[in-house]
Structure 1
């Protein structure tokens, strides 16, 4: 599923403005990049029904060369072939794979295991990188920023089930028993289905794009 053209244009304009502001030295160029960022904010705000000032605050917080953000997700399964999902408080108690934004000074795999431990209480060990997907190509709801989503398959090696300040419940779900209330900004049904495929066929290559 493709993203709407307005979102692609607004995001690209913001990225050009952000990168330009990071490297320009001419006061007139800086003024032009700030105008471009303001236009990107207005365009985004017009479609997401939010004040352009609020969008502009988000964009101003992004500095340096514009690159995609990195989101990590971890799929672990029990001996009955059920996948572990957690319920996110911030998203109306909707279900998702444990995960979140990658932190600096940690590898993608370390980030995935950290999120698994923090959100579910379980300690894991990475088995494979199952997928590296561009968020915008997957059918997630529109988002102001470009994002790469990394999905790992892991085994549980310790810990015990425990909710956190971010999660309200932990559950195990079979392939045909997945909850309807998914956190669609974080995980989609076809992505979960693909994790079941990777679990059943460990020799599958990593999915990408």
Structure 2
């Protein structure tokens, strides 16, 4: 089911990100050295605009994009897994900010989305699970996450635990446990928002037997 989500992202941030994507795509496809210089200049201007918008040095903005491999610019993927036990949802505490989220992270090249989330749950919470259903696909910029200079699609899977282990911490987590919907810890907003948790409970209880998407 398509969600009627209102755009949350600042309109200028959205335009700057689009300019950066167009410049990167143009650099990939052009064979003309003069066009390449023009695309480089567009990227420099867009990064300067992004620095002005965020009130930070241009060098800090450039560092946000050093890991991109070039080519046709597309959104990155963030994959999250909802695992339930006795009506409670699995959350992990991130070492980076001390806040809680569903297990998950950036999708790794070479693995399917299901393989990615199954590995993430094992690494972050010590549980073996099987991804059973995709229950939500979100464009991060359209929802009330903190604004991000990068563009993301967020995939949410309903997962079933296939062993009898209890949650344990991993290299990137400092806590792991199951929580009821009415007693959630403080969430890590760049990774997960309350709406994601509520959609997970709907999917778990079969109140929502479809995939919601933007």
1:165 to 168, 171, 176: 171
Q: Is 1:138 matched with 2:138?
A: no
Aligned to 2:157: 152
Decide whether the 8 Å contact of 2:202 with 2:208 is kept in 1. no
User: C-alpha offsets along residues 18-75 of structure 1, whole Å, 9 cap, x if unaligned?
Assistant: 1011111111111111111111111111122321122123335421100010010000
Higher percent of residues as helix: 1
CA distance in 2, matches of 1:98, 1:164: 11
Decide whether the 8 Å contact of 2:167 with 2:177 is kept in 1. no
CA shift in 2, pair 1:151/1:106, >3 Å: same
Q: Is 1:97 matched with 2:102?
A: yes
CA shift in 2, pair 1:113/1:202, >3 Å: farther
Aligned to 2:50: 44
1:197 to 180, 188, 202: 202
Structure 1 unpaired stretches of 5+: none
2:19 to 13, 22, 33: 13
CA distance in 2, matches of 1:186, 1:95: 9
- The alpha carbon displacement at 1:15 in A equals 0.2
Tell me the C-alpha RMSD between the 2 structures.
Answer: 1.3
2:36 to 21, 30, 33: 30
CA shift in 2, pair 1:125/1:169, >3 Å: same
- The alpha carbon displacement at 1:161 in A equals 2.0
Decide whether the 8 Å contact of 1:41 with 1:53 is kept in 2. no
CA distance in 2, matches of 1:153, 1:57: 34
My pick for the range that moved more, 99-108 or 1-10, is: 1-10
